[in-house]
Amino acid sequence: MSQLIDFKSIVAAAQRIDGSVTRTPTVNSSVLSDKARRPVFLKLENMQVGGSFKARGVLNKFSALAKNLDDNHFVAVSGGNFGIAIGEAARHFGAKVTVVMPESAPSTSVERIRASGSSVIIEKDVHGAFARAKALEEQGYVVIDDCADTLIAEGHGTLALEFIADCPSLTDVFVAVGGGAMLAGVATALKAIKPGIRVWGVETAGASSMQQALQAGKPVDVEISSIVSTLGVPIIDELMFAHARHYLEDMLVVSDHDAIKGMVCFAQDARQWVELACGALVPAMLATAPKLPEDAVIGLVVCGGNISLQDMSKWAAYAGIS
């Protein structure tokens, strides 16, 4: 049985990274509230350092490793946001990092990571990226795996401390799930502060590794076909699976097409520039909202905004949105 994260560790992480991350705002979305027929609040991690929530976990991890950074060369697998966050942290701490990415990763993310001074290796797909990281580990590199790291999950959980403090009336929070570390940290914090709160996970159909793990009763290897590269994790770590099984209300799965429409909805209706993983929250929330109590107060963790105009236009065209 995997040991669940201790809430006190999330509080300690918040103290550790205080001053290094942005205390992102929580705002009400009147348009999404009208659509859901319930109040909808957004935790704007797209305004975070590096453009996503990932900075929280990475900075918590590097702060804990500060004394050993000079002696190691680190390697990480990323679909975009984690690589950006780890590249920025590596520059801040003077660490040596190589980021391995699938070809599906946004070109703008690759460029940002290289600009931060970290090396980038491109592999054909996410399976190839993890295989390359494993090979580098055998050569002596130290792997930083945001899908399996307690310190990173604890850092991510700090966003929930802010969210529930800003909006204590929240009853239902929707979280996009890739490897599950943000879900683990956020759910731990929310449930510790407000045990009755409901936490909902969201994936896309071609990256539903957590849903399939929950159905099977254990992590299973999934073929990734979703265009949402930041959610493309082939197999969920046992630790993150344990948190999902313990805390989740349900795991919701939407299509890539609906995630794209959700991304455009954020831009047009909520006036927020977000990536596809955030877009997946909108259809999942709108499908679930009618089943919630009439007095429900909904929160969406807007996890990141690292998407270029070129990519936004490409995905909108893919979904037939003009």
278, 264 in Cβ contact below 8 A?
Answer: no
pTM given for the model = 0.92
Residue 318 belongs to what H/E stretch?
A: helix 309-318
For residue 88, the number of C-alpha atoms closer than 13 Å in the C-beta half-sphere is 20
- 197: nearest Cα among 223, 229, 175, 219: 175
Q: Does the fold of domain 55-143 match that of domain 7-52+150-318?
A: yes
Q: What is the DSSP letter of 249?
A: S
- Tens-digit pLDDT profile for the chain (322 aa)? 578 999 999 999 999 999 999 999 999 999 999 999 999 999 999 999 999 999 999 999 999 887 778 888 999 999 888 999 999 999 989 999 999 999 988 888 899 999 999 999 999 988 899 999 999 999 999 999 988 999 999 999 999 999 999 999 999 999 999 999 999 999 999 999 999 999 999 999 999 999 999 999 999 999 888 888 778 788 999 999 999 999 999 999 999 999 999 999 999 988 899 999 999 999 999 999 999 999 999 999 999 998 888 888 888 888 888 6
Q: Which CATH architecture fits 55-143?
A: 3-Layer(aba) Sandwich (3.40)
Domain ranges of the chain: 7-52+150-318, 55-143
> CATH assignment of 7-52+150-318, given 3.40.50.300, 3.40.50.620, 3.40.50.1970, 3.40.50.1100?
3.40.50.1100
Q: Is 175 helix (H, G, I), strand (E, B) or coil?
A: strand
Burial class for 93, CB neighbours closer than 10 Å (0-12, 13-18, 19+): middle
